[in-house]
A and B are shown apart, each in its own frame.
Chain A
């Protein structure tokens, strides 16, 4: 069999990126449930949600390693493999940030969110979830663009990237509000540190999503 001719045709890394993005989305939904659980006083299942996120993260890790391990140096792609790696790193950064957030909470689960901050925190969580949900759509639309190189399709992907940026900006604002309120709170320094760091970690989820968007923007450059 003339297999070498066929060895040229390999598994597309975009396939993996898409799969990874879907894992990220799956993780985001579990993260949201975990946070809602943490905000409510009666919830007992936080630890279960945290375990689930860890599990999803390790599944995504397998996909990540598979992508990284299967792009030989001589691979020809519509974009440089360097960009694929950078994009993947940012998309994976989202997962890490989600995991970090839940870990951070678990280090001191007796700290409960004060009543007056609950609404802000829940808005911050919603604000960071929104950009994550867009990632897999962005990858799918980008793949369509690389099929046709049509300007319209490029605009669609660019719009998604803009949306990501706006959402990150929104999340930033909530983060600022929370930090300001926390520092003006009459509370124990440990609690203040825990809450401030919590807000920052949640905020970093959106940062990574935005960075992924920036990498995608670099892929689209002509």
Chain B
């Protein structure tokens, strides 16, 4: 069918465009605190983010791709393959347009929520309101509140602990080294749990919750002490500088994790609808779940990587000069809070946005009086666009769906 062949090509283009936008925008959230704290350079950050996003997308991403597509729109709609084809295309295009609009207007929106909104719009127009899984949609609304609040509380507490146990001490370097197994350990704990719970890895290994906890704990203890010994041998510092230096290394670790998780989660936004189109064109029918071919994940990963390397560095450059940036201890608190929030929220089944969690994390540090100055006037604007994202992308998706229906 030549017509559907064109649709597939168009789908590839739109999918790549979506992935590019994700890369251009979202990389800031994972890498900004690290670059801001001058733990690594922009060039290093771009390099790390590119590699880890591709790895995350290819090796961890497939599981998430299915749930997002399945969750919002009921499977009843899948009876008409032609409609699904148009729907997937219009959802993807609508989400990309909205994200691109937001990028142009420099407004932070969640790519996850854009695709959720676009799917909803398509669902409503194709099958009416009854076809939408409102509980899933309510979960999106809940996540607007939960992810920033969780992250805020976490970063506040972590920072207060660091302050109390390390920074306020006379020999901060000594204490930071002594307590480093705890901080490295908890980071490793969260990372390992994320991999076991959030990715197909845990499912493949047939690991259950208690075993996963046990495994994460053992690894946390091991890496905690191994990390301390490593730090001991190559961090030479005195008092405050030394403490910050130690957190610099831990922070790089957390940032790498966020980049990896981002690749795994966000690739679904771009590739989910593309996988549907791909399968429809190849087989002509579609089931409740879509197997995502590895090459599509790689395609999405490369798209994200292109976005990062072409545009992501500009975002990070703005962090460089003339603004109050986070020190390593603060940056660590933000990153750790973001990672933990994303893990907990996705365990609860909420489609959370890393952006929301990161903003909450910075607020937590601000409330803990940890930064010389942070401007939260912008927060109202950010929140407005969090809320606008779903209806806006839904409406765009409806319009595009109608147009495509007329054309195809």
For B283, the chain A residues whose CB sits under 8 A away are: none
Total number of A-B contacts with CB less than 8 angstroms? Answer: 130
CB distance from A78 to the nearest CB of B (A): 4
- Asked if A82 lies at the interface with its beta carbon under 8 angstroms from chain B, I say no
Interface string of B353-381 (1 = CB under 8 A from A): 00100110011001101111111111101
Q: Is the C-beta of B169 less than 8 angstroms from some C-beta in chain A?
A: yes
Q: Which residues of A contact B374 (CB under 8 A)?
A: 8-10, 75-77
- Residue of A10, A73, A144, A146 with highest tally of chain B CB at under 10 A: A10
Whether B392 is near chain A, meaning CB under 8 Å from some CB there, is: no
Q: Using Cβ atoms and an 8 Å threshold, which residues of chain B touch A75?
A: 373-377
Min C-beta distance of B56 to chain A, whole Å: 20
A143 at the interface (CB under 8 A from B): yes
Taken together as a complex, chains A and B put the C-alpha atoms of A12 and B370 apart, in Å, by 12
**Which positions 1-57 of chain A face chain B at CB distance < 8 Å?**
1-15
Q: Decide if B375 touches A1 in the complex (CB within 8 Å).
A: no
Q: A73 — which chain B residues lie within 8 A by C-beta?
A: 377
B240 within 8 A of partner (CB): yes
Bound Cα distance A62, B135 (Å): 56
Q: Size of chain B's interface in residues, with CB distance under 8 A? A: 49
Q: Are B373 and A1 in contact (CB under 8 A)?
A: no
Q: How far is the CA of A12 from the CA of B172 in the complex (A)?
A: 25
B372 touches A6 (CB 8 A): no
Given the complex, which residues of B lie within 8 Å of A65, measured CB to CB? none
Interface string of A71-84 (1 = CB under 8 A from B): 11111111100000
Q: How many residues of A contact B (CB 8 A)?
A: 33
Residues of A within 8 A of B107 (CB): 2, 4
**Bound Cα distance from A74 to B375, whole angstroms:** 6
Given known contacts A1-B311, A2-B315, A148-B240, A8 and B375 CB-to-CB distance under 8 angstroms: yes
Q: Does B138 contact A (CB under 8 A)?
A: no
A152 near B: Cβ within 8 Å? yes
The chain B residues found within 8 Å of chain A, CB to CB, are 24-26, 28-29, 32, 36, 103, 106-108, 163, 167-170, 172, 240, 311, 314-315, 318-319, 322-327, 355, 358-359, 362-363, 366-367, 369-379, 381-382
